[in-house]
Amino acid sequence: MADNPIYEDLSPLRKRARGIFLAVEILFVLTAFYYWKIQILDYRMYSKLAEKNRIRETVLVAPRGLITDRKGVLLAQNIGSFTAALIPENTPDLEGSLAGIGEMLGIPIDELRRRMERYGSQPAFKARPIKENLSLEDVSRIDARQLEFPELVIIAEPKRFYPFGSRASHVLGYMQEVSETELKSRRFRDRHLGDLIGKTGLELEYDAYLVGQPGRQVELVNSRGRRQGLVEKQDAQPSFPLRLHLDFDLQAKAEDLLEGREGAAVVLDLKTGGILAMASYPNFNPNKFINRFSPEEWRSIVSRPDFPLENRAVRGLYAPGSIFKLTMGLAGLNEGAIDDRTSVFCGGQVTIYGQPFNCWAEGGHGSQNLTDAIRNSCNIYFYTLGKKLSIEDIARHARLYGFGRRTGIDLPGEKEGLVPTPKWKKETRQAPWFPGETISVSIGQGPLLVTPIQVAAHTAFIARRGRTVTPSLLMAPGFLRRQGDPMRDADLLLRDDIKRRNFDKIIKGMWESVNREGTGRGARVEGFDVCGKTGSAQTISTQTADRLSRNQREIKTHSWFTGFAPRDNPEISVTVLVEYGGMGGATAAPLAGELFALYRRLKAEKK
C-alpha cells in the first residue's frame, strides 16, 4: 500500500503553497500601501508634477531700462528678439534631438551639448536657450517642424541694443550672460542661469535698477509640449529711463579727436560735477557682447595689446608729469615755502643733492616767479620747491587735493592711483626713500600715479577755488548713486588747509599758459578765457631717456592737458591724455581747445 501513488504524502507541497500564498499576500499589501501612499500621502507632490505636464510657466523678461544723454538722445535701448530654447522633458531621445536641431539651425552638436550641460542643474521641464537672435527664416523653419521637434520652443524677449555702436561704450559698458560665480554673489543672487547682466560701466553699476520687474506667463500645453491656450499672464514692468549728464555732441567729438590714438578725455560740468563727456580709446562695440560667442572670440578681444575694454579715464594709471606742478604750487603756498613773488633762476640745469636735474628747455627760462613757472612749465622752479618741501608734505597735499584715492564717480572699478611716501616704499619695496626721489616727484615723475578722472576732479577743485565736486554720470536723485570715496568736505578744506587767495595765484599762471604764449596756448579759444596746464610724462627712466637721446632715438612721452573755462565763474573743465603723444602743448592742448570751442558753440546755439 505504501508504494501506491494514490496515498503519496502531499504535506511538503502544501507547505510550499502556503509560503507562496503568504508572499503574494505580502506583495499585495505592500502594493496597496504604495498606491495608498501615492494617492493619499503624496498626492500634492504628484498633483504638481501632473500639472506641470499640462501647464508651462515662462518668465517674461522685463525690457531693460533705457539710457539717454542729457538731451534725450537714446544711448541704450531694446529691440525685439527671438530665442530658440529646448525643453529636455519633451523629448525621449535628447541626443537624437540635438543632432536634428543642430542640423536645422546650423549649430555644431558639440556646441549644443555644451549649452545643455551648462544648464544641467535646472529641472528638465525648464526651457534652455540654444540660439539667440533668430532670423525670420529660423523662426519659420522651427514652426514648420514643430511636430517633429515638440521640445523646441521659440521665446520672444527684448534684446539690448546700442544704436550708436561704440559711442560712449566705456561709459555704458556691456552685457553678457551671468556666470555661476556671479550667481553666488550678493548683487546677482536673485538672477538665474541664462540671464543677461551688466558686466561693466553703467550697465553693471545700475544693473539692479535697469533690470525692471519680470513678469510671468502660464500656458496650457498638450502631452507633446505644444501650446493649447493661455491660462494666466502678468506683464513685465520696465524701469524708468536713466538720464545722464553726458552730452552726445561733446562725447562724439571727444571720441573722434582720440580716434587712432590711445588715451582718454573727460569734460566736467563745474556747476554740478556732471560728466559731459568721457572718452577712452580704443573703444569697442557693446552690441557684440549681447550674443554668445566662443571662448576663442573672447580671448581675441581681451588679449589685444591696446586693451580696448579698459576704461582709461577711470582705470588708466599714469605719471601726471607737469600737471602735478599745480599741486606743488598750492602745497608750497599753503606751507609758506614760496609766495607768488618768490623767484628762481632757471639756466636749464640745476644740481641738487649732487645730482644734475634738467629743465625741458635746454637754454633755461631765466628768472621765474610762480606765474612764470606755471606758464612756462619750468622744471627748475619746481625742483627747487621740491627741495624745500618734504615728501610727507607733498603726499599730504596731494591726497588732500584728490590724488591717491577714488573720486567717487558712479562707475565700477575706479582705481585709487598712488601717492608715494617713505612708508609705502619701505612696505612695498623694502628700501628707504632717497631725497632725490622727492625732486622727481615734484615735477610729477617717479612712482606717482594718477587717473584722468582724478586730474579732472583736481582741476575742478582749483577752478572752484577749493570747493570740491564729486564727478557723476547719472542725472538723478542721490539715492541711486553709489557712495564711493569722495573728496573731503569743501568747507573743511577751506577752513583748515587752503587759503582761498592762493588759488587765484595758481589760476593766473594757468591763464597765462594758454593766453600769453605759454605751453598751453594750443587750447586757446578767443573770448573764452581758458586756463590750463600741460604735462609731458616720461614713460621710461631718466637714465634710459638720456641714453636714447645720445643715440638720437625718439623719446615718447604721455601728453597731458587739463584746464577750465572761463577764468571767472568757471563752467567746464577739460582733461585730455594721449599715450605716447609727445609734448602736452603740441598734442593734448589742441584737442582740449577743440572741446572748449565746441562747448561754447553748443551753449550759444542753445540760447
Determine the pLDDT at residue 553. Answer: 44
What DSSP string runs through 255-309?
HHHHTTS-EEEEEEETTT-BEEEEEEES---GGGGTS---HHHHHHHHT-TT-TT
Between these two residues, 127 and 225, which has the higher pLDDT value?
A: 127
What is the Cα–Cα distance from 242 to 72, expressed in whole angstroms? 10
CA 156 to chain centroid, in Å, comes to 29
Higher pLDDT, 5 or 150: 150
Lowest mean pLDDT among 55-59, 312-316, 446-450: 55-59
Superfamily of domain 55-243: Penicillin-binding protein 2a (Domain 2) (3.90.1310.10)
| Residue 152 predicted with pLDDT over 90 | no
Contact 480, 474 (CB under 8 A): yes
What is the model's pLDDT at position 477? Answer: 55
Is the backbone peptide bond immediately before 566 cis, with ω within 30 degrees of 0?
Answer: yes
Q: Mean pLDDT score of the chain, rounded to an integer? A: 85
Residue 317 has pLDDT above 90, yes or no: yes
For 28-78, what is each residue's pLDDT tens digit?
888 877 777 777 766 666 665 555 556 666 667 778 899 999 999 999 999
pLDDT given at position 32:
79
Q: What mean pLDDT comes out for the span 246-274?
A: 96
**pLDDT of 549 strictly over 60:** no
Separation between Cα atoms, residue 390 and residue 13, nearest integer Å: 111
Those residues whose C-beta lies under 8 Å from the C-beta of residue 530, and which sit 6 or more positions away, are: 511, 514, 515, 520, 523, 524, 563, 564, 565, 566, 593, 596
- What is the percent of the chain with per-residue pLDDT over 70, rounded to a whole number? 85
What pLDDT score does 226 carry?
58
- Taking the domains of the chain in order of start, what are their residue ranges? 55-243, 248-284+311-606
**Contact between 131 and 152 (Cβ < 8 Å):** no
Q: For 468-494, what is each residue's pLDDT tens digit?
A: 899 999 986 554 555 444 444 444 344
Neighbouring residues of 403: CB distance < 8 A, sequence distance ≥ 6: 320, 327, 417, 419, 448, 450, 454, 458
Give the per-residue pLDDT at 304: 82
Of 58-72, 191-205, 304-318, 475-489, where does mean pLDDT reach its minimum?
475-489
Least trusted range by pLDDT, from 112-126, 137-151, 195-209, 574-588: 112-126
* Model-wide pTM > 0.85: no
Helices (H), ranges, 389-499: 391-400, 422-429, 435-441, 452-463, 490-496
Residue-wise pLDDT for 94-150, tens only, equals 888 888 888 888 888 888 888 887 777 777 777 788 888 888 888 888 888 888 888
Question: Among the residues of 37-135, which ranges form H helices?
Answer: 43-54, 94-105, 109-118
Residue 99's identity, in one-letter code, is A
pLDDT at 43: 65
Q: Interhelix angle for 452-463 vs 500-515, to 10°?
A: 110
568's grid cell:
571767472
- pLDDT at residue 599 is higher than 80: yes
| pLDDT value at residue 115 | 80
Cα–chain-centroid distance for residue 37? 56
Instruction: State the catalytic residue, choosing from 166, 322, 377, 442.
Output: 322
Residue at 141: amino acid letter? R
Would you state the cell numbers that stand for residue 367, as one nine-digit string?
Answer: 628768472
Lowest mean pLDDT among 134-138, 264-268, 497-501: 497-501
> What tens digit of pLDDT does each residue of 157-179 get?
788 999 999 999 999 999 988 88
% of the chain at pLDDT higher than 90: 53
Higher per-residue confidence, 546 vs 405: 405
Is the pLDDT assigned to residue 524 strictly greater than 70? yes
Tell me which CATH code domain 248-284+311-606 carries: 3.40.710.10
Q: Kindly tell me if the per-residue pLDDT of 551 is higher than 80.
A: no
What's the pLDDT score for residue 493? 46
pLDDT band for 495, please (50, 70, 90 cuts).
very low
- DSSP letter at 178 equals P
Give the pLDDT score at 484: 44
What per-residue confidence (pLDDT) applies to 46? 61
Distance CA 337, CA 332 (A): 5
542, pLDDT greater than 60: no
| Residue 54 pLDDT | 63
Reported as a pLDDT band with limits 50, 70 and 90, residue 547 is very low
344-346 and 366-368 as β-strands: parallel, antiparallel, unpaired?
antiparallel
Strand partners, 230: 219
Candidate from 209-223, 253-267, 402-416, 445-459 with smallest mean pLDDT: 209-223
Question: What cell numbers appear for 115 in the block?
Answer: 549649452
Segment 241-260 mean pLDDT: 96
Q: How far apart are CA 396 and CA 493, in angstroms?
A: 13
> For cell 550672460, what's the residue?
177
Collect all residues with Cβ–Cβ distance below 8 Å to 490 and sequence separation of at least 6. Answer: 464, 466, 467, 468
Residue 564 sits at the vertex; the CA angle it makes with 415 and 281, to the nearest 5 degrees, is 45
What confidence score (pLDDT) does residue 53 get? 55
pLDDT of 199 > 60? The answer is yes
What contacts 264, CB < 8 A, 6 or more positions away? 258, 278, 279, 280, 281, 311, 312, 313, 316, 452, 575, 576, 577
At 90 the pLDDT is 79
Report, as an integer, the average pLDDT of 189-209.
87
Separation CA 564–CA 363 (nearest Å): 30
Residue 322 catalytic?
yes
Mean pLDDT of the 535-548 span: 61
Please name the amino acid found at residue 316.
G
**61 vs 5 pLDDT, higher one:** 61
Cα distances (angstroms) measured from residue 129 to each of 93, 132, 147, 154, 234 = 18, 7, 19, 9, 22
